[in-house]
Amino acid sequence: MRAARVVVLGNAVLDHRVWVDAWPPARRRTPAARYLEDLGGGAAVAAVTVARLGGAAVFVGPRGADAAGERVAAYLDCHGVATRHLAVLPDAATGVSLIIIVPGGERLIFAYPGAGLLDDPAWAPPAALDGADALLVDSRFPRAARALAAAARARRIPVVVDLDTDTPDAWALAGAASHVIADEDLAERAGGVDALLARLDADGAWGAVTLGAAGAVHRGGRVPAFEVPATDSTGAGDVFHGAFTLALAAGRRPEDALVAASAAAAVRCETGRVPEREAVDALLGRD
């Protein structure tokens, strides 16, 4: 049976994570309990999620011609994500983040977004959609995302938008989507969860809002979060988006895809790693 294929367009950065035993620090020089270099960026982590859950993932996006960009490409490759559409921009700098994880699993993110990473549809050709069952985009590169979303809708491919910014470009991108997953902060800025869902519904998109430990809400009801001991919540939302889009690509109803996504995000919070399918299935079977 062919694996569902998901194309993911958006941001890829190099993460440096540091765990500390106390916060705030008592001194200017404080020992770290643990350090990890890892792949970051919403779209990149979502693409890895698709691959680790058994789907076929294709990443579309730019990186710099620098050491950080080479590390990003290596991480995508080692997880089985196709990188033929990872564009190398000679004069650009790849984004890098420092993430401090404090006791209890919460994190502080210090993000350098990179430089010269042009929002150019030229690095997002429609050919990237060949064989695709779904497209997932974030709002980091809205021009490129809108162009590829339009090409996907013309092919009747579902388009999922990770909506987390309240800008005209982001809302224009949401207007090109078949499904929109928004976050709680955006809902607050948009007049509340009900108002946001009503706006998405009026625009013709199926919508949901993620609420962290309170689960996710859609027009038909609420999907509760799975209760797990959290060690690192970094990238949990990105894992959620990747798992949701893969389930949708595999033909599942969006309401059922939310449950699978919630389980995948919970495993991420508990283990600190992008989950494999067996761990997600085990959590779904336990609940």
Residue range of the domain that includes 261: 5-286
When pLDDT is cut at 50, 70 and 90, the band that residue 171 belongs to is very high
Strand partners, 37: 16
What is the arithmetic mean of pLDDT over 207-235?
88
Q: Taking the model in full, what pTM does it have?
A: 0.93
114 secondary structure, DSSP code? -
CA proximity to 107, closest of 198, 17, 15: 17
When pLDDT is cut at 50, 70 and 90, the band that residue 213 belongs to is confident
For the domain that residue 241 is a member of, what is the CATH number?
A: 3.40.1190.20
Establish how many alpha carbons lie within 13 A of residue 264's alpha carbon, considering only the half-sphere containing its beta carbon: 32
Query: Tens digit of pLDDT for each residue in 37-87?
Result: 999 999 999 999 999 999 999 999 999 999 999 999 999 999 999 999 999
Task: List C-alpha distances in Å: 74 to 16, 21, 242, 260.
Answer: 15, 31, 19, 28
Question: Which residues 6+ apart lie within 8 Å of 258 measured at CB?
Answer: 208, 216, 218, 223, 244
Query: In whole angstroms, what is the distance from residue 110 CA to residue 101 CA?
Result: 12
Strand partners, 8: 59, 136
Query: In whole angstroms, what is the distance from residue 106 CA to residue 103 CA?
Result: 7
Q: What's the one-letter identity of residue 4?
A: A
Question: Which residues 6+ apart lie within 8 Å of 97 measured at CB?
Answer: 13, 14, 15, 16, 40, 109, 110, 111, 112
Query: In whole angstroms, what is the distance from residue 261 CA to residue 258 CA?
Result: 5
Tally of structural domains, the chain = 1
Query: Tens digit of pLDDT for each residue in 225-259?
Result: 898 887 777 789 999 999 999 999 999 999 999 99
24 secondary structure, DSSP code? S
Query: Tens digit of pLDDT for each residue in 14-43?
Result: 999 999 999 988 888 989 999 999 999 999
Q: Is the pLDDT assigned to residue 287 strictly greater than 60?
A: no
Beta strand 107-112 with 34-40: parallel, antiparallel or unpaired? Answer: unpaired
Query: Tens digit of pLDDT for each residue in 79-102?
Result: 999 999 999 999 999 999 999 988
CA proximity to 109, closest of 2, 237, 277, 249: 237
